Structure 1
Amino acid sequence: MAEICTPSDTRHVVLDTCFGTGDAFLHQWQAATRPLHYLAFLAQPISADELLRRHADWPELAGQAHALRAAWPDHVAGFHRLLFDEGRVSLTLMIGTLAGCLSQCVAHVDAFRIDMLAATTMARRLAQLAASQSTLRLSAACPVDALERAGFVFTSALQATYQPRRSSGKTVATGERHAIVLGAGLAGAAICERLAVRGWRVTLLERHAAPAQEASGNLAGIVMPVLSQDDNLASRLSRAAYLFALRRWSGLAQPRFEGERCGVLQLARDADHAAAQARIDRRWNYPASYARWLDSAEATALLGSAAPDGGWLFAQGGWAHPAGVCRAMLAACGTQLTVRYQQAATCLQRVDDAWQVRDADGVLLAQAPTVIFANGNGATRFAQLADLPLQSVRGQVTHVSAPAASAPSLVVCREGYLTPPVQGWRCAGATYDQDVEAGLRWSSQHENLQRVQAMLPGIWPDAFDFPLAGRVGFRCVAPDRLPLVGALPVTAGACRAERLRDVPRWPGLHGLLGYASRGLIWAPLAAELLAAQLNSEPLPLESDLVDALDPARFRLKSLRQSSR
């Protein structure tokens, strides 16, 4: 069980624009007596091996240096949150331009370590991030006029203290740290673990007799990112979520879950699609460990069968057994978590400063100041959430008996996908149906097998004469195909709102919803984001990506349209 951060463990937040090879971070980590969050701008690429070589002369830091090397991310743009010492130490690496990273950072900083570029060009932004009486240290002597105008008072040539002209400071989470989580799928299990390690008491209510019985109940989920020519919001979010998920799944303690980093090969649909993907490859030049474009010859050699248009290889990707992941996350919560199965919550009632969760007979199931909806399509059955624009989409996965000599040993996908053997089956899928039939049906079976046959010609007999086997689940999908993460909006009544922060929210109600078919990669990062919001910690994502996940985005759009 992880060491628990108690409410008195106020996290110390450092922002460093001259991270280099992480020397200052490693020393602060070693000396930390309370939870440490370190925000670091990474100006130049550096390999994990180089990190270790640079720290070889400091044997007292060997443990931290090896842990940092093991967690070191691919050098791709965005924020990368790394967790150490069971979450008591977190490092958020910011990769991009200095101005872009700092403008997207959401934090209250206690101590700055900055270089000349930040001191002379970003002084105002540093002041916006500073908590009252935060300290600042320059890496070298430089002009400080801009910093002084922003409110930093220098006590020596290299050190200053922030003294705001008006009230400022770190917002500390207060009140009872007890949350009710509805739903024991990937979304619910992940937030239970992220809150428990922060010292929260969590009550998990699940209407089934075991975790992962609905959308998270498939034999295998695919772990891979999404790429695009313009590196749009969806691509940036999927990249951050994919890389964070890989680190979280590697870091989970026993019990381990079934899964394999066997690689994912995403084949191009045709020659035009391949040409577009090759342009993405040339424009972004991703590290091969993250995403590597394979031409036809390379893809054919890897696949062992014809791949005339090539494809993307995600070498770190693969598959995992979602129910096993859920069980591992719940086990990591220890005594902070109370799980109550076969509890069908149907309504909420606000009493004083707490929410009471009740069943259809009015029986009180649990009470707490905070309720987190992680129950997919079941969320909109509650009156407070009835108007959220979530859709239930049927997905049938086909199970085919695993022995197939010609089948590949990695995940292959195009319009459909095929996994390596999982518990004796290969999984093919999945349909995207606009109906509510819960049982398996032959038409969906045929559709799945036909997609795999088109992707891997000759893999099945032409007759598709396989027993009807598989599973049906119902995805929870938002109109923009992105999750809903954060405080839930009040959707009734008239109001004026020009920004997300102006949209009224239900006190203490939060959502982790709309994961569609990507719950395995969304769940860890979304849970880390919500836990950071609830604890007033630095956020693990850029602010525009946080806004893209805000559950109030649809309400804001509606309000703007109605005011025209």
Structure 2
Amino acid sequence: MSTVQDLNFGFAELAWNDDNQPIASRFNDVYFSTTDGIAEKRYTFLENNNLSQRWQQQSASHSSFTIAETGFGTGLNFLLTWQLWLEARRLFPDCAPSQLHYISLEKHPISWRDLKRIWQLWPQLQPLSDELLDAYPPLPTAGCVRLILNRGLVHLTLYIGDAATGLRQFSPCSDRNNAAPKNMSFNGMQTSVDAWYLDGFSPARNPDIWSHTLFAAMARLSHADTTFATFTSARLVKKGLVEAGFQLIKKPGFGLKREVICGNFQGTRNCAAHEQGNRKTPPRKIKRGDTSDHYWHLQELRTRTEQTSTEREANQRPIKSALVIGGGIAGCNTAFALSQRGIQVTLLEQSAGLADGASGNRQGVVYTKLSPHPSQLNQFNLCAQIFANQYYAQKLNGTSLFDRCGGATGVLHLAVTTNQVEHYRKLAQHYDDCPQFLQWLSPEQASEKAGVELNHPALWLPNSGWLAPHSLCEQLTSPANIDLRLNCKVAKLERWKNAENGDQETEQWHAYSDSGDIIASADTCVIANAGASQQFSQTAGLPLKPIRGQVTHLSESAPLAADWQLHKLSTTLCGRGYITPVYDGYFSFGASFNLNESATELNPDDHQVNLDNLASMLTHVQSSQQESLSDTLEGRVGFRSTTPDYFPIVGPVPNQPHMLEQFAPLRHKANAIIDASGSYYPQLYTLLGLGSRGLAYSPLAAELIASLICNQPLPVDQQLYRYLHPARFLIRNLIRSER
């Protein structure tokens, strides 16, 4: 996903025929058969990939199935695949995969409004299309967007952009898209696609998509059981597929179409050479201080792509159990993401209750700092906000997390400076066709939304809101396969083979108490306990900094609440501070930002700062008159855990001594070429440094952790992943010769 300035394409340009069916004006081509689009798609892609038969015969250990598609278009292929998967799950519950992962690539996405119109053509798909429409992201926004559907069992990853470039984001490569050596992967396991839908417009009308780069990327993501299907039988398509290692089968086409082709992957070829059109790859050059062509974020591959599915299952043991250390927002979201994938989770929290540390405020806002300016941090903020809005709105047992644990009241980002007015206006103009995501409001319009008179114009996010962290954490840890253990402090982590399980070859992580006893053991471990992570030898070197914050609590019956008419507040306000609607008889507002302070007691001066910031948002309010009140206000002190670059730390934990040795040449030559993967503790991950944006950051960060652990497609661009990666600080410090 990129920012406004990076965007060089827009919505699909549509024309409509007499039957109210869409035509792609840009390519002068149809999206589906004008006679029977559903039958055409089912035959061409679902039947020719043998999905129904394969899902009846899956082994029990094959828990997920991944499909990749070139050309999301109207989304009809996805809706039909989802429908078929649900039918297979109903008829063959012991065989059909428990999770469906669907990657779709689209350079010219159809707008939300046009999709709503198109999906009305297929009332038989309405329950699915309605759910997809509710989750559909604001577009056009370049890059990866992950959608969670069907109570977490269906994951749709949209890549908005060039298809070949998009596919490369799901296979190991450098930031500059140089393909990584074949022995590297994201997590030590081979990420692969089980079936391909090649559904771009015909080569005659859209030749750019059918490239050497596309076919090479397909080969890199395929295994011995991977199949493909496509409507086109053009010579260049067949030639590209054969050269990439696919076997072709001709079949009769649908309707007036003479033939289509399908087939399966026969084996890997020299993908890098094929990607250059069989030309010699030019020498790599790296600018001084640039690590974009290094592969430090990757791990050594432990299995071979030539193996069959049976061999892969025998040699690549699935993760069945996980330890999560930390019962705050980060740990609880991680535990939930893993539990949805069928993993047995043991959640260890040292306090007597959940959300007792930095996550312990009465209320929190789903907030990130949005900006139209191009930067990786702005990109991540946008990704996280979009994902969090959808994540908290998804219905679990009929009710959303917003409804259970807070309120989808919308959030007003008040523009309190001239720069903010300019930036928010520009951002809102970009999303002019996506009012369900954000809108620009005048002070009068913002006041109407808020229920109180406001001093400033605002960016309005109608699908965001506030949550009570303690209630949220209780809901996230409610699944039966999460074993919550409170008052459980972990003093040390070690990994070794657990012979007591009767399997001499199984290594597990073991959590020890202060007395040296083993508290719990599991296949994988996630450290998500904020600053307390510094006590573990494996994560002691990660740069975390505590920042004190004080929140003010004001009773709704207090005279000040009546004077300032806070009882009328119907949404969440964010300006120089924030305030949430009343909850359990109190308003929460703040929070102070105190560097280099460690006091845990409430400070009247910080209450006054919070009052002043609140007053600055409201019309006709003078905070100076309330100075005496600040001594009697209630509140809470917490310590945010932040990082030097303000990105959270998400991913595998680096083995620092080994990596310092591997990448030592960077100390002396910042542009040294090092074709080596990083060195990481096996199956040890971390989610830390969320700062004051835990509610917004943690859902996407937890989804990334779970995807890595379960060897599933990443929910973010590979380039953005490197900015979140725990090893980034080590590499930067080597280049700066700080170690």
> Is residue 119 from structure 1 mapped to residue 278 from structure 2 by the alignment?
no
Shift of 1:448: 1.1
5 Å-filtered alignment, 1:141-290, equals 141-142=233-234, 143-144=236-237, 145-156=239-250, 157-165=260-268, 168=305, 174-175=317-318, 177-253=320-396, 257-282=404-429, 285=432, 287-290=434-437
For 1:16, the equivalent position in structure 2 comes to 69
Q: How far is 1:262 from its partner?
A: 1.5
What is the one-letter code of the residue matched to 2:490?
A
How far has the Cα of 1:81 moved from its partner?
A: 1.9
User: C-alpha deviations, 1:118-177, integer Å up to 9, x for none?
Assistant: 323622222223333422222333322333332233222522433334552687652552
User: How far apart are the structure 2 equivalents of 1:219 and 1:501?
Assistant: 47
Partner of residue 661, structure 2: 495
Task: Give the partner amino acid of 2:618.
Answer: L
**Greater displacement, 405-414 / 543-552:** 405-414
1:40-59 equivalences under 5 Å are: 40-46=104-110, 50-51=114-115, 54-56=118-120, 58=122
How far apart are 1:207 and its partner, in Å?
Answer: 0.8
Closer, same or farther in 2 for the Cα pair 1:74/1:278, shift >3 Å? closer
8 Å CA contact 2:449–2:571 kept in 1: the answer is no
Structure 2 regions of 5+ residues with no counterpart? 1-57, 86-95, 172-190, 251-259, 270-303, 498-506, 664-672
- 1:253, CA displacement in angstroms? 2.8
Note if 1:109 corresponds to 2:193.
Answer: yes
- Is 2:733 the counterpart of 1:558? yes
Q: Select the residue among 133, 140, 144 that pairs with 1:79.
A: 144
Q: Structure 2 matches for 1:95-494, cutoff 5 A? A: 95-106=160-171, 107-114=191-198, 115=200, 116=203, 117-120=208-211, 122-142=214-234, 143-144=236-237, 145-156=239-250, 157-165=260-268, 168=305, 174-175=317-318, 177-253=320-396, 257-282=404-429, 285=432, 287-299=434-446, 302-303=449-450, 310-331=457-478, 333-334=479-480, 336-352=481-497, 353-402=507-556, 403-404=561-562, 406-407=565-566, 408-433=569-594, 434-459=596-621, 462-464=625-627, 465-466=629-630, 467-492=632-657, 494=660
After superposition, what is the alpha-carbon deviation per residue over 1:420-475, rounded to whole angstroms, capped at 9, x for unaligned?
11221111111111211112111111111111122325446522314231111111
Contact 2:456 2:617 in 1 (8 A): no
Structure 1 residues 68 and 439, CA, compared in 2 at 3 Å: closer, same or farther?
Answer: same
Using a 3 Å threshold, how does the CA distance of structure 1 residues 468 and 491 change in structure 2: closer, same or farther? farther
State which drifts further: 83-92 or 508-517.
83-92
Q: Which protein shows a greater Rg?
A: 2
Distance (Å, rounded) in 2 between the aligned partners of 1:547 and 1:458: 47
Aligned match of 2:159 in 80, 94, 106? 94
Contact 1:224 1:314 in 2 (8 A): no
Return the letter of the residue paired with 1:417. Y
Which of 315-324 and 257-266 deviates more?
Answer: 257-266
Task: Give the conservation status (yes or no) of the 8 Å contact 2:431–2:438.
Answer: no
Letter in 2 for 1:90: H
Structure 1 residue 181, shift from structure 2 partner: 0.8
Farther off after superposition, 90-99 or 527-536:
90-99
Taking structure 1 as reference, are residues 325 and 252 closer, same or farther at Cα in structure 2, changes over 3 Å only?
farther
TM-aligned CA deviation for residue 306 of structure 1: 6.3
How many residue pairs end up in the alignment?
A: 558
C-alpha separation in 1, matches of 2:459 and 2:113: 26
Quick one: structure 1 residues 84 and 455, their matched pair in 2 at CA, closer, same or farther if it must change by over 3 Å? closer
Whole-angstrom distance in 2 between the partners of 1:6 and 1:448:
58
Percent of aligned pairs sharing the same letter: 30
Q: Secondary structure at the match of 1:388?
A: coil
Is the deviation greater in 48-57 or in 265-274?
Answer: 48-57
The whole-number CA distance in structure 2 between the counterparts of 1:516 and 1:381 is 19
Distance 2:357 2:552 in 1: 16
Offset of residue 323 of structure 1: 1.1
**Cα contact 2:108–2:161 (8 A) shared by 1:** no
Cα RMSD after superposing both structures: 2.8
SS at structure 1 position matched to 2:477: helix
Counterpart AA for 1:351: W
Distance 2:418 2:134 in 1: 38
Q: Distance in 1 between matches of 2:124 and 2:419?
A: 55
- CA separation of 1:6/1:193 partners in 2, compared to 1, >3 Å: closer, same or farther? farther
- Distance in 2, Cα, partners of 1:131 & 1:285: 43
CA distance in 1, matches of 2:580, 2:586: 9
CA distance 1:62–1:315, change in 2 (3 Å): closer
Looking at structure 2, the residues matched to 395 and 38 of structure 1 have their Cα atoms a distance apart, in angstroms, of 41
1:248/1:279 Cα in 2 relative to 1: closer, same or farther (>3 Å)?
closer
Whole-Å separation in 1 of the counterparts to 2:261 and 2:511: 55
Q: Residue deviations 1:299-327, cap 9 Å, x none?
A: 45545666565221112122111111111
- Are 1:25 and 2:49 matched, yes or no? no
User: 1:343 deviation in Å?
Assistant: 0.8
Q: Deviations over 1:33-84 (max 9, x none)?
A: 3232111123444355654654556555343233323322222413222233
Matches of 2:438 and 2:75 in 1, distance apart? Answer: 26
Question: Is the contact between residue 76 and residue 287 of structure 1 (CA under 8 Å) also seen in structure 2?
Answer: no
Alpha-carbon distance between aligned partners in 2 of 1:415 and 1:432, rounded to the nearest angstrom: 11
Post-superposition shift, 1:230? 2.5
SS of the residue corresponding to residue 529 of structure 1 reads helix
Deviates more, 1:424-433 or 1:228-237: 228-237
Instruction: Tell me the CA shift for residue 220 of structure 1.
Output: 1.1
Q: How big is each residue's C-alpha offset from its partner over 1:397-435, in whole Å with a ceiling of 9 and x where there is no partner?
A: 011123435333221122211111122111111111121
- In the TM superposition, residue 195 of structure 1 has moved relative to its aligned partner by 1.2
TM-score (norm 1): 0.91
Distance 2:135 2:678 in 1: 38
Task: Answer whether contact 2:324 2:525 (CA < 8 A) is retained.
Answer: yes
Change (3 A) 1:11 1:176: closer
Moved more, 133-142 or 47-56: 47-56
What is the CA distance between 1:545 and its match in structure 2? 1.6
